[in-house]
Amino acid sequence: MANATLTINSRNYGTWSLRSWLLCRMAGLDFDTVVIHGDDPASRAELLLLSPSFLVPCLEHDGVRVWDTMAIAEHLQEALPDSTLLPDDPVVRAHCRSICGEMHSGFQDLRSALPMNLRRKHSKFKVYSGALEDIDRVFEIWRECFERYGGPWLFGKKQCMADAMYAPVCARFSGYGVDLDRACAAYVRKVLSSPLMKEWVAAAMEEPEIFNELEMEF
């Protein structure tokens, strides 16, 4: 039996669940995954962005209970300091924390306009202006990282916390056919073709719960 448990709400729709699961796997944590069923009111509220406080995902590890994705990331970095979730250089580490924090607290228009749904692919999707500003900001963040650290991941040759935080955005861009330049398109392909993302998506395809509110035709 694993010494940790990660509780998530949905593999198909749950962006924060995806982030936390990736962080745990990237950190090398031995953990079990528990999925809250779709008829749970709190889980449903979170997925529909109607909850004032997100309590899922939640990690229980060595007597510690942590229920915020950034808190989970910091806990993993403290508990497993060799996990390389954060870069070694303090200046680069501060940059990584900053863009992770920006994703954690911002991009509300992007979240509401392009909800993650791994089952669906949209063509000729019209993105409204507020979300376009968020998309442009993501591009700006990514391009600065590629220029400073050389890729193929946001902070160089190894995956880190930032790649987990922006992985759902890659899924959104792919699912909604967002126009990407060469560098950003290459990064999206890199993330979506990674073994961890393939494992997550395969499990999402087996997920029985369907949220009609998130299955609408755009």
Same domain, 114 and 135: yes
Residue 217 is assigned to a structural domain of this protein? no
Same domain, 184 and 127: yes
Which residues, other chains included, contact 47 with Cβ-Cβ below 8 Å and sequence gap of 6+? 9, 10, 13, 14, 211, 214
Residue 108 backbone zone (phi > 0: left; psi -120 to 50: alpha; other: beta): alpha
- How many separate domains does the chain show? 2
Last residue of a domain, one of 22, 56, 83: 83
Same domain, 110 and 142: yes
Q: What local confidence, expressed as pLDDT, does residue 189 receive?
A: 98
Residue 208 is assigned to a structural domain of this protein? no
Q: What local confidence, expressed as pLDDT, does residue 24 receive?
A: 98
H or E element, residue 8: strand 4-8
Q: What local confidence, expressed as pLDDT, does residue 131 receive?
A: 93
Same domain, 16 and 95: no
Same domain, 98 and 193: yes
Cα(17)–Cα(25) distance, integer angstroms: 12
Structure confidence at residue 210 as a pLDDT band (50, 70, 90): low
The structure's pTM equals 0.90
Nearest to 162 by CA among 85, 108, 216, 90: 85
Structure confidence at residue 217 as a pLDDT band (50, 70, 90): very low
Cα(120)–Cα(174) distance, integer angstroms: 10
By DSSP bridging, strand 4-8 and strand 32-35 are parallel
CA dihedral 187→192→197→198, nearest 10 degrees, is -150
Mean pLDDT of 199-217: 73
Residue 37 burial by CB count (10 A; 0-12/13-18/19+): exposed, middle or buried? exposed
Span 35-56, pLDDT tens digits: 987 665 555 555 555 445 567 8
Residue 36 is assigned to a structural domain of this protein? yes
Nearest to 47 by CA among 34, 56, 59, 58: 56
Output DSSP code: residue 153.
B
Q: What local confidence, expressed as pLDDT, does residue 141 receive?
A: 98
The CATH number linked to 111 is 1.20.1050.10
126 against 157, higher pLDDT: 157
Q: Which residue range forms the structural domain that includes residue 128? A: 90-200
Mean pLDDT of 25-38: 90
Please report, rounded to a whole number, the percentage of residues in the chain having pLDDT higher than 90.
74
The residue with tokens 């863009």 is: 99
Q: What local confidence, expressed as pLDDT, does residue 43 receive?
A: 56
Mean pLDDT of 171-188: 96
Beta-bridge mates of residue 7 = 34, 58
Q: What local confidence, expressed as pLDDT, does residue 54 receive?
A: 61
Q: What local confidence, expressed as pLDDT, does residue 129 receive?
A: 79
Flag whether pLDDT at 218 surpasses 80.
Answer: no
The CATH number linked to 74 is 3.40.30.10
3-state secondary structure 67-112: CCHHHHHHHHHHHCHHHCCCCCCHHHHHHHHHHHHHHHHCCHHHHH
Structure confidence at residue 142 as a pLDDT band (50, 70, 90): very high
Span 89-126, pLDDT tens digits: 999 999 999 999 999 999 999 998 999 999 988 877 88
